[in-house]
Structure 1
Amino acid sequence: MDRGRHCTYGVISRGGYALIDDSHAPSFDRSDYPTSNETWPWFNGISWTAPPAEQCGINEQQKRQCGVYGITKQQCESSGCCFKEDGRSSKDVPICYYSTKSTQDLYFLGHGLDYKQALKDFTQLSGPIPLPPRYIFGVFFSRYWAYASYDQKEIVREYVKHDIPLDVIVTDMDWHITAYKRADKGERDQAGQGIGWTGFTFDDHLFVNHQNFLQWCKQLGLKNTLNVHPASGIQPWEERYEEMARANGIDPSTQKYVPYNATSKLYVSTWFDKVMRPLENEGIDLWWLDWQQGEDWVPSPPGLNPTIVLNYQYYTNPYHWRYTNTRPALLHRWGGLGNHRYQIGFSGDVIPNWDTLQLQLTFTPTASNVAYTYWSHDIGGHVTPPDAELYTRWVQWGAFSPIFRTHCTKNANNDRRIYTYPWSYFSTLQHFHKLRQSLLPYIYTQARLTFDTSVGSVLPLYYNHPHHQEAYTFNREYYFGESMVIAPVGSPIKNDSGMAEWSFWVPPGEWTNLFTMERFVGPIEVNSKFTIDELPALLKSDSIVPMLPNHVPALGQSHLVPHQIKWIAILGSSKQGSGMLYDDHGDEANYYDQNTFAWTKASYSISGDGKNVEFVISKMMGSFSNMPTHRQYEVHLKSVLPATSVRVNGQVVSAELYNDLVPITNDKNSFAYDGSTLSVVIKIGVAQSVRSDVKIQIEFANEISQISTMNGFVGKLKRFIKAKNMLDDQWGTRTSVFQDDYPNLLYAAGMGEKLSGVKADDAARTLSEFEKYAKIACDELKNITNISPSLQSKLNAQLC
C-alpha cells in the first residue's frame, strides 16, 4: 500500500498477524435520548495535551507511528503525541510518534494464514457484519438529474417495456429545493456552503405530490432513497425550520439557521425526529448520505471522523428503528475501521476509464480485509460519459459485485439508461441486468454466510488459497460467494480480433466458465480472449447454485421471498455436489433469532455406471414469517447430453420440446433438453411442500461428462451464431456474400437447434459433428475474399 494515501490497514497480513492501534479512538457512553430515559450510546472523547519536549527525544529506530500518515501538527499533538518539525514521514521514520510516556490500546491478531478466522476474531471484538435487507442486492437506478415525478415514472415504464429489472429508485439532490442560479454566482447560505446544496424539503415544482409518487412506487414493489448533504443544517426556508429552531433554542423569527452539529445529541435527535422521520413515514426506505466536508468538521471529541459519526447515527437512529421492525440500511462513505457495522459503502465520484474499472476490481475484494464487504460503486463511472464498450464491461462487473447501482453526474451526454444504447450493446447490458436479478437467491444466501462467518461475499482469492502466490498476484479476480470465481474483463477489445485479452487464475479443483462451459482443472494460469458478452466466471463443478427463473416480472422482485427457485448444477467429474439456499422475511430486524430464517439444501449424486443422477431438494429447515408453504422448481443440469427418463418423487415426467419462452406451468411437471447450453431442464410446476424432500431421478444414455467434444461447446456455438449475424450484416453493403459461401458455418451455428430435438441415443454422435463443421467453416472463411479485412480478421480470430 502507498503510505501516502489515507487508507486503513487490514486486519490480516501474510506475516501471520495484525496489530490494531485503537489508542485514540473515541468510545461510547451510555447516555439517554434527550426526550426519554432510553439509552442511545453517544461519543465519549479522550482529552490529550502535547507531551513535553523531554518526552519526545526518541531514537528514530524506536519511534512508533501515531495517527495517520500526512497528519498535521495540531492533529498530532491533540492526540498526545510528538511531532517531527523538520522532516517528512517516511517508510521507517514517522512524522508523528508516541512519546516515552505514551500508553497505547493495542489489539494483536495472531492468525497465521487463516485469514477467515482473523476476520471472525476481529468482528467478535468489534461487532458483526450485519445482514442488509434483501432488496439492497437488487438493481438500483440512479442519475444526478432534475427528474420530476412524472420523469421517474416514465423511466420505470421504460424499464418494464424493455424487460429490465429494477428494485430501487435513487433520487439525487434535485428532490429538494435548490438554488443553482444563485449558487452559480457564488452565493453561500448561512453555514457558508453553496446555497441549495443541503435540503430537506421536496421541491414541489418537480414533485407536485411527492407522497403520491412514493406510494406509486410502493404499489410496484420499488424502494426509494434520497440524497442528503447535511452540512448546512436546517436553513430558514425548510418546511420543518420552525420546529427545529425552537427545539434547538433558536427564535424562528430571527431566521437564523440551525447549525449542523454532529456531536450534539439534541441537534441530531430533533433532526431525526422532526425532519427525517416524516419523510420516512411518507415512503423513504433508506438514505444516501453524501458528506463532502472532510474529516475536520466535528468540534469534539478529538479524532472523531464525521463520516462514521453519520453512519452510526443513521444506522442506530432510535427515532426511526424503534418504530419499525425493519433492518437499518444506508448508503454512505467509509468512515474508518469499525464502519463494517454500518453498511452500505458508497465509493463516490470517479472518472470513467479502464484504469478506474481495474482499480475497483482490486479495491472491492480487498475491502474484505477490514470486513467492509458491501461496496456500491457508480457503475459506468461518474463525471464523464464512458464509451459503450467500457460501460458494458462495467455492468458485467456490477452484476457480480456487492451492490448493483448505475449512476452518473448531471450532463446531457452522460446517461446510464441502457435502453438508450445501440442494440449491439443493449442486448448484453440487458442480459447482465437480468443475470443480476436471477442471482438474487445465491447472493442473499452468501450475505447470510457473511453475517455468520464475517467472510465477505466478494473475497480475495488468498482467503481460500493462502499458500498460492497466484492468489495474491491475480488481485483483480475474486470469489463471488463460496461457489464462484469471477475475473471481470478490464481491458478494451482489440480491433483485429473483436476480443479483449485477459488473464485469470483457476484455483485448485475443477471449474467451468458459466458463459462458455469451458472446463478447467486448476491450479493453472489462463491467458484468453473474450468477446463483449464473455468473461471468466467460474463455477465449482461440485456446487449447486440457487437462482430465480428467467420468467419473473421486471419490477420489485428483490424484496420478495421467491416461490419459484431455479437450481443450476454443472455435472463434472465429481460424483456428488450440493448447494444451500437461505431464506428469511427479507427485511425483519430480528433475523438472528430462532424461527426467523430457514435453509434449504439441494444435492446430487451420480451412481452406478455414471448414467444415473439423483437430485434431491431437501425439506426446508427452520421457519420465518411469510414463509412459503409450497414452491415450484426448475432444475438445470449442465454439460450433459439428453436424458432418457426423469422421475419426480417416483412419478414419470413427460418429455417436451425445449422452449425458453415458456415459464413453469402450474400443476405440470416436464423435462426437456436445451442443445444450445447442453442442459437437461426439469420443470416442476406441481407445487411441492417445503416441508418435504423432492427427489428427482434422471437417467442418461451416456456416461456423465465423458464426451470430450462438450468442453467449451457452448461458447463456440455462440460465436458461430454471432459470425452468422456479422455475415448477414454484409447484405446491402457487399451483396456478393451469400449463404452458399459458408454452409458449414451455418451447420455449426445450428448445432444447438439440432441437439435440442435429437434422440438421446444419437446425441453424442451428433455433437461430435460440430468440430467437423467448425473446421470446414474456417476453410470457407478463407475463401470469402470480398469482405473487409477487419471482418475477415475478427471471424478468423473468434472461430479458428
Structure 2
Amino acid sequence: MQVATTSGKYSVKHYPDIIQSWKKEGNYFYFYTSTTILELRVISDKIVRFRYAADGQFQRDFSYAVSEKLEESPEFFDIREWADSFEIITTAIRVFVARENLRITITDTDGRIINQDETGFHWQYYLQKGGKIVYCTKLVQEGESFYGLGDKPTELNLRGKRVENYGTDAYGYAKDTDPLYRNIPFYYGLHNGIGYGIFFDNTFRTLFDFGKEREDVTSFWARGGEMNYYFIYGPALLQVAESYARITGTAELPPLWALGYHQCRWSYYPESKVREVAKEFRDRKIPCDALYLDIDYMEGFRCFTWSKESFPDPKALLKDLSAQGFKTVVIIDPGIKVDPDYPIYQEITQKDFACKRADGAYMEGDVWPGKCVFPDFTDPKVREWWSGLFKDLTATGVRGVWNDMNEPAVFELGTFPEDVRHDYDGENVSHRKAHNVYGHLMSKATAAGLKKHLMPQRPFVITRSAYSGTQRWSSVWTGDNIASWEHLWLASVQCQRLAVSGLSFAGSDIGGFIGEPDGELYTRWIQLGTFHPLMRTHSASNETGFNQDPWSFGPEFEAVVKSFIQLRYRLLPYIYTTFWQYAAYGTPMLRPLAFVAQQDENTHDLNHEFMLGDSLLISHVSEAGMTEKSVYLPEGTWYYYFNDQRYTGGQAVTIPTPLAEMPLFVKGGAVVAQYPDMQYVGEFKIMEMIQQVYFAEGTTHSILYEDAGDHYGYKTGQYNLVRFKQSSEPNLFRLKKKFVGKYNADYTHHRIRVHGLPFTPKEYVLDGVTAPLQPEHFVDGVVELNLLRKFEELVIR
C-alpha cells in the first residue's frame, strides 16, 4: 500500500500518536493527538461515523451520497474512561478508542468483537498530485466473508480480492475486470454469525483490499479527501442494508410499467422499424411495456433533437405507441456537440455551464456526435438548466430517459483528464474528486427534470454510472456485456451485488450487448431476467443485422421466452410489493442466500442462488446443455414452482432443467400475489387478484402492497397493505387477512389457490361460515376458492 512519488521514492506514512485531550459536544466526540483529530458521531445505536483530520484540519463536511432525511436518533449513549482506552456505549455496541494511537475496536454488548483496527487510520502526502492518501486497515476475523461494492464482476464473497472504484467505460468487460461503471464504496463483513457494514464516503479513487495483500488484514483507502466512514452494526445483514439505505436514502416507487418487460436495441430506426417491432409484440401476444430509442433517433447524435429523416413526426409516433400500451424511453448522453448552430451548445457556452480544463479552456472530447463539450453537473445551476431541457421531450410523449456514457466516457482519452475543474456545489475541485459522482449527478438532474415535466406521472430513469445514493432517483444496468454463458453468470452475481449495495432496481442486457447469443443462451437469460427488478433485452448493431427480439430464435425458443415474460407480468403484484419493501425500508429486492441464512455457513460462498423478495428462490441455468442442477435450499419448506414438489431445506437438491423450466422455488407458508395474463400494464381493469398460497406448518406472514401504479397518491395514503398470516397444523390450514388502506382497487375478489395440503380436505370455513368442498374446488391438485376481497379468515380442514 505504498505510493511512489515522482522521484520513485515512497512518501512517509503518518500515524496518530497518543490522545492528548478530548471533548464531547452532543452526540459528537472529539479526540485530539499531536497531528490528528478523530470526530466520532453517534447517529443511532447501531450507526457510528468516524471522521479523521489528518493534519488537524477537517475538510468541508459535504456529501452527495448522504440523504437529507438522515436524522440522528440514538436511544442512549455515554462515554467511559479506562487506563488504555475510551469506551463509547450505546444500547447495541461498544466502541473502544485506544489512547495510544486512536485504534478502534467495536464489540457487541456481550463483548464479542465485531470489527477491529489493525493499524487503523494513517495517511501520507500525495506528492505527485497533491492532497493526501488516507488509509484504514482492519483485522480480518476468523472465517470472515465480505460482500457489496456494487457491480464488481466476481464472486459474491470478496475475501481474497482487491478492487477499486473509478467509474470506467469497460466495453466488453470480463470476469474480474476492475474497475467498472459504478462507484459504491460500501461493503459488508460477516463472521461468527455477526454482520456489519462500512460505508467509506469518499468520491476520490477508492481501493479496498480484503486479505489479498495480507490475508489477515482488510483495508480501504482513497487517493485524496478525508477518511470518513460509517460503521453499521446488524447483526443481520439485511438490517445492515436497511441502515445503509437510511444513510444514503431510499428509492421512490417507480411507475408499475417500469417493472414490466423492456425491449431495446442499438438501434431501432427509422420510425417504420419501431412500428414494426411494436406490431410484432402485439401480434405475437408477447407482453411488453417499454421500447427504447438509442442514439440514432437524434439529428446527428445531438441530444434533445429528433432526426428529421428517420423520425419526421415523433409526437405522432409516440402517441400511436402509447395507444398500443408502449412507453417510449430515449437515450441522452452528456456530450453536447460543438456546433455554433445547435441551440443546446449555444446555451451551454453562453451560460458558461461546460466543464473546463485547468487553464480555462473547455474540456473537449470526441464521443458519438464528434467533438463535444460536457455539462458540469456538480454545479447546481447546471443541474437546474439540464432538468429544464426535458420539457420538450416529455411534451413529445417520452416517458423515460436512459443516461449513458456518463462515467464520463470519452473516445481515445477514456475519460476526462484529471486537471478538469468542477464547481462541486461551490468548492472548485479537480476531476479527481468529481469523477466518481459525475454520472450520479447527471442522473439526479435528469430525474428532477422528468419528475417536474411528467407530473403527476412518475418518472423512469436508467443510468450507467452511479455513486452511493443514486437509488434515490434512478435504476441501473450492468453495462456493455457479452453474449456468453460467462456473462449470464456475471449478470446474476452483479445484480445481486448491486441490490445489497443499495441499487436494487438493476438488470443486465439480456442476451448480451456484444455478439449474438444462440436460442438456448437467450432463453436462459430471459429466465434469469424474469426475476431481476429491471428486465430489459438490449443488443448492439452488427454486420448481419440480427435483431435480438423474443421471436428471433425460432418458434421453440419463442414459446419458452413468451411463457417467462408472461410469468413476469403475473408476478407484478409480488414484484411491486418487493419494490415497496425496498422503497419503504431499503430492504434489497434480490437477496443472496448469505443474507437470508447467514447462520448457515453453506450459504456464504453461494453465487447462483438468490431470493427475490421474501418468498421466491431462484437458481438460473448457467451452462449450455445443462440437464440438471444442484441447488442449495436454506432451512424451511420449499416448493418447486412448476410441479409443487416439496423439499426440506438445509441441503442441496438436484433439479432437472428442461428448456421450459428453471430452478424456481416458493417458500412454504408464502402468499404470492399474481395478476391475470396481460400484454402491458393498464391494458384492462384487473377484477380479480390471484393469491398462490403454499402450505407450511407453524405461523408465517406475507404482505401485498398495492396502489394506482402511477402518480403520487400513495404519498397521501392512497395505498393498501394487505397482511396475510398463515397458521397451519398437519390437518388444518388457516389463513387470516388484515386489510389496511385507503386505495380503492378495481378488483372485487381474491382467487385463493392453496398448494401442498398434506391432508385430504373436506370443507372450508369462510369468516365463520362452513361449506363443503366441491369437485370444482380441486384444480390440478390445488384447492381453489373464489372469495370476496374483504374476507378475513379462511380455514380448510
Compute the TM-score of the two structures, normalised by the length of structure 2: 0.65
For residue 243 of structure 2, give the secondary structure of its aligned residue in structure 1. helix
Equivalent residues in 2 for 1:193-592, closer than 5 Å: 196=301, 198-233=302-337, 235-236=339-340, 238=342, 259-263=373-377, 264-273=379-388, 275-291=389-405, 292-293=409-410, 296=416, 299-300=421-422, 301-302=429-430, 303-304=433-434, 305=436, 306-317=438-449, 320-321=451-452, 324-411=455-542, 412-493=544-625, 499=627, 501-549=628-676, 552-557=677-682, 562-572=686-696, 574=697, 577-589=700-712, 591=714
1:673 counterpart = 2:778: yes
Tell me the residue number matched to 1:667: none
Please tell me whether residue 636 in structure 1 is matched to residue 761 in structure 2: no
**Deviation at 1:526?**
2.3
Kindly indicate whether the alpha-carbon contact (under 8 Å) linking 1:570 and 1:639 is maintained by their aligned counterparts in 2. yes
CA deviations 1:356-407 (Å, max 9, x no partner) are 1111211211223321112121011111110111111100000111111011
* Equivalent residue letter for 2:594: Y
Separation (CA, whole Å) in 1 of partners of 2:522 and 2:618: 18
Greater Cα radius of gyration, structure 1 or 2:
1
* Residue number in structure 2 paired with 1:758: none
Q: Tell me how far 1:69 sits from its aligned partner.
A: 7.4
3-state SS of paired residue (1:424): helix
SS of residue matched to 1:418: coil
Q: Distance in 1 between matches of 2:589 and 2:702?
A: 15
Aligned residues between the structures: 591
Distance 2:132 2:398 in 1: 53
Match of 1:623 in 2: 742
Q: Report the secondary structure of 1:390's partner residue.
A: helix
- CA gap of 1:71–1:363, structure 2 versus 1, over 3 A, is closer
Q: Offset at 1:652?
A: 8.6
Aligned-pair distance for 1:456? 0.6
| 1:299–1:633 distance in 2 versus 1, CA, 3 Å | same
TM-aligned CA distance change 1:561 to 1:361, over 3 Å: farther
Question: In the TM superposition, what is the alpha-carbon distance from 1:171 to its structure 2 partner?
Answer: 1.3
SS at 2:551 equivalent: helix
Equivalent-residue separation in structure 1 for 2:167 and 2:268 (angstroms): 39
Shift of 1:502: 2.3
Unaligned runs of 5+ in 1: 1-15, 30-47, 73-78, 84-88, 179-195, 251-255, 658-670, 700-800
* Cα distance, 1:49 vs structure 2: 9.1
Deviation at 1:61, TM superposition (A): 9.2
User: Is the 8 Å Cα contact of residues 764 and 771 (structure 2) preserved in structure 1?
Assistant: yes
Matched with 1:693 is: 791
Q: CA deviation at 1:604?
A: 4.4
Aligned to 1:143: 265
CA distances 1:25-80 after superposition (whole Å, capped 9, x unpaired): 99369xxxxxxxxxxxxxxxxxx995699999999999xxx9957899xxxxxx99
Aligned-partner SS, 1:27: coil
Secondary structure of the 2:783 match is strand
* CA offset digits 1:513-562 (Å, max 9, x no partner): 1023222112002244411122221111111100112xx3313349x884
For the 8 Å contact 1:81–1:97, the answer to whether it is kept is: no
Q: CA deviation at 1:324?
A: 1.9
| Residues 331, 344 of structure 1: 8 Å contact kept | yes
Q: Are 2:27 and 1:27 aligned?
A: no
Structure with greater strand percent? 2
Distance 1:698 1:97 in 2: 60
AA matched with 1:636: R
C-alpha contact 1:642 1:679 (8 A) present in aligned 2: no
For 2:134 and 2:782, how far apart are their aligned partners in 1? 70
Q: 1:174 to 1:249 in 2, by over 3 A?
A: closer
Q: Is contact 1:56–1:82 with CA below 8 Å preserved after alignment?
A: no
Which sits farther off after the overlay, 523-532 or 642-651? 642-651
Deviations 1:240-297 (A, max 9, x none): 66666666699xxxxx998322245554433432x32111122111210112335537
Identity %: 19
Q: Which residue identity lines up with residue 241 of structure 2 in the other structure?
A: L
C-alpha spacing 1:358/1:225, structure 2 compared with 1 (3 Å): same
Contact 2:134–2:227 (8 Å) recurs in 1: no
Tell me if structure 2 keeps the 8 A contact 1:133–1:327.
yes
TM-score, normalization by structure 1: 0.65
Could you report, residue by residue, the CA deviation over 1:213-235 in whole angstroms, capped at 9, with x for unpaired residues? 11122223322110122213474
The one-letter amino acid paired with 2:695 is: L
Counterpart-to-counterpart distance in 2, 1:54 and 1:168? 47
Partner of 1:126: 248
Contact 1:613–1:698 under 8 Å retained in 2: yes
Calculate the aligned-residue CA RMSD, in Å. 4.3
Amino acid at match of 1:218: S
User: CA separation in 2, counterparts of 1:309 and 1:212?
Assistant: 32
What CA distance in whole angstroms lies between the structure 2 residues aligned with 1:580 and 1:530?
Answer: 30
Cα 1:336–1:270, aligned 2, differ >3 Å: closer, same or farther?
closer
CA–CA distance in structure 1, aligned partners of residues 131 and 263 of structure 2: 56
For 1:673, the aligned partner's letter is F
Q: Residues 616 and 401 (structure 1 numbering): CA distance in 2 closer, same or farther, change over 3 Å?
A: same
Unaligned runs of 5+ in 2: 1-45, 54-58, 65-123, 139-161, 169-201, 355-369, 423-428
Q: Which amino acid aligns with 1:373?
A: S
Letter in 2 for 1:333: R
Q: Write the letter of the residue equivalent to 2:657.
A: F
Structure 2: which amino acid aligns with 1:490? S
